[in-house]
Amino acid sequence: MKNVICCRCVKCGREYPAAPDITTCECGGILDVIYDYEYIATKLTKETLRARTDRTMWRYRELLPIEESTVPSGLCVGMSPMYEADNIAAELGIAKLYIKDDGINPTASLKDRASAMAVTKAIEAGYDTIACSSTGNAASSLAGNAAKAGLKTYIFVPSRAPKGKIAQLMMFGANLTAVDGSYEETFELSKAAIDKFGWYNRNAAINPYLGEGKKTVAHEICEQLGYKAPDYVAVSVGDGCTVAGVYKGLYDMYMIGLIDRIPHIISVQAEGCCPINTAVINNEPWQPQEENTFADSIAVGVPRNPDKAINAIRDSGGICVNVSDDEIRSARRYLASKAGVFGEPAGVTATAGLIKLSREGRLPHEAVVVSIVTGNGLKDIDSAIQSVGEPVHCKNDLAQFEKLFF
Ligand SMILES: *Cc1c(COP(=O)(O)O)cnc(C)c1O
Ligand SMILES: [Zn+2]
């Protein structure tokens, strides 16, 4: 790979050649892919991007850790729409709000960006089986992308995962294990099985290439805004890979000169499970927490990527905000009814945080903000129906209809 220099440990700085199946550093630290930005800047310019017809995440392939000869595997991921939500911006008292809807990806979450990368690297490395543990979306996206790529999957989810995600997994033909325990226990079992059977590892953080897939959401935000960096990008945070990826994507675009500054990250977690935000706010090492939130995708008491996430929030001069489950519920309904974007609970948590910050007067009136919706609302319909209720019922009777609505 001409564009990649090495993989470097975020803890001890040790460097490794970027082998396609590399995992963590000897010291246990997470690896970061280091690029030759000078070289990339000669290849990836506004002009080359404008001429490109690829409408997937691979349009930024110079910034991605794959061989030049590699044909990407997996589904058509990325280039999700970004909507201007002027009505919401006006209500919140900010200049501009953009909703980046990553719930429209092929398996309906941002995780598709990591999974498309994972299956591509697994095939580069010559594996026929790939495995992961997940709160649900990484799993279902891996199962879908692997089905397309012709890889076998072994997948571990906590048994609390919502039915929509389980249905996807079963349909995509994953070898699925629903673990009776927390996400941490699910992760431990997957790790033991991967160690024993030697499958390609698509576990969050362990595999340094996953975040490189996720970062393409930030490349797209920059391109969709005509390379004018927004002031803030709001992200919901669980393991921390997404927020780290978003920062890396913004950093990439800055380093190759396509944006002139790096936006501030708004890191949003659930009040009932916020180990990363607690660490940043109190400026102390992170501590495990309970997983007390209905936003299942971010109910992560033991985050797998805390170092990269905390660095991303700090290096961007970011803001941390925690929201209650009620605030998530109300943001979910608000975003759907005001912008037409229906997210799953963790999918709208970033927007819930943004609403809270603006109500508390913590965002300047001239702020231009992007809020990323990370997963589609149909993933979890039980919790949606619980908060909006059942529809009115009516016979084929105009008089009855009139009584109901007028
Ligand atoms: C995974 C996920 C997140 C958080 O990503 P992390 O990398 O775990 O921090 C947020 N929202 C949704 C819908 C997710 O699936
Ligand atoms: Zn190390």
Task: Return the pLDDT at 277.
Answer: 98
Task: Return the pLDDT at 55.
Answer: 96
How much distance in Å is there from the Cα of 18 to the middle of ligand 2?
15
Mutational pocket test of ligand 1: of 242, 307, 348, the residue with most ligand atoms within 8 Å of the beta carbon: 242
How much is the pTM?
0.97
Task: Return the pLDDT at 261.
Answer: 98
Mean pLDDT along residues 349-375? 98
d(CA 392, CA 243): 40
Task: Return the pLDDT at 135.
Answer: 86
Query: Which ligand lies nearest the alpha carbon of 28?
Result: 2
Residue range 265-275, pLDDT digits in tens: 999 999 999 99
How much distance in Å is there from the Cα of 55 to the middle of ligand 1?
23
Q: Is the pLDDT of residue 257 over 90?
A: yes
Q: Say how many C-beta atoms besides its own lie within 10 A of residue 307's C-beta.
A: 18
How much distance in Å is there from the Cα of 48 to the middle of ligand 2?
37
Task: Return the pLDDT at 193.
Answer: 97
Mutational pocket test of ligand 1: of 107, 117, 137, 209, the residue with most ligand atoms within 8 Å of the beta carbon: 137
Closest CA to 85 of 364, 333, 339, 355: 339
Mean pLDDT along residues 184-206? 94
Task: Return the pLDDT at 12.
Answer: 97
Mutational pocket test of ligand 1: of 110, 134, 135, 341, the residue with most ligand atoms within 8 Å of the beta carbon: 110
The DSSP string of 185-205 is: HHHHHHHHHHHHH--EE--TT
How much distance in Å is there from the Cα of 31 to the middle of ligand 2?
8
Mean pLDDT along residues 251-259? 98
Residue range 323-350, pLDDT digits in tens: 999 999 999 999 999 999 999 999 999 9
Closest CA to 143 of 123, 180, 102, 171: 171
Alpha carbon 380 to its chain centroid, in Å, reads 17
Query: Which ligand lies nearest the alpha carbon of 136?
Result: 1
Mean pLDDT along residues 149-162? 94
Q: Is the pLDDT of residue 102 over 90?
A: yes
Query: Which ligand lies nearest the alpha carbon of 10?
Result: 2
Contact residues for 117 (Cβ-Cβ < 8 A; gap 6+): 64, 66, 209, 210, 212, 213
Contact 222, 260 (CB under 8 A): no
Place of tokens 């709001």: 234
366 is written with which tokens?
A: 């001239």
Contact 328, 270 (CB under 8 A): yes
% of the chain with per-residue pLDDT over 90: 97
In eight-state DSSP terms, residue 84 is E
Under the banding of pLDDT at 50, 70 and 90, the label for residue 130 is very high
How much distance in Å is there from the Cα of 215 to the middle of ligand 1?
13
Residue range 287-315, pLDDT digits in tens: 999 999 999 999 999 999 999 999 999 99
Q: What is the mean pLDDT of the chain?
A: 97
% of the chain with per-residue pLDDT over 70: 100
Which parts of 195-296 are beta strand (E)?
200-201, 232-236, 264-270
How much distance in Å is there from the Cα of 39 to the middle of ligand 1?
32
| Counts for the chain of helices (H) and strands (E), in that order | 16, 13
82-107+210-388 maps to which CATH number? 3.40.50.1100
Under the banding of pLDDT at 50, 70 and 90, the label for residue 205 is confident
d(CA 202, CA 21): 10
Residue type at 269 in one-letter notation: Q
How much distance in Å is there from the Cα of 25 to the middle of ligand 2?
5
Which residues, judged by CB distance below 6 Å to any ligand atom, belong to the binding site of ligand 1? 109, 111, 137, 204, 236-243, 297-298, 300, 344, 346-347, 374-375
Mutational pocket test of ligand 1: of 298, 320, 348, the residue with most ligand atoms within 8 Å of the beta carbon: 298
Where exactly are the structural domains of the chain? Answer: 82-107+210-388
d(CA 356, CA 349): 11
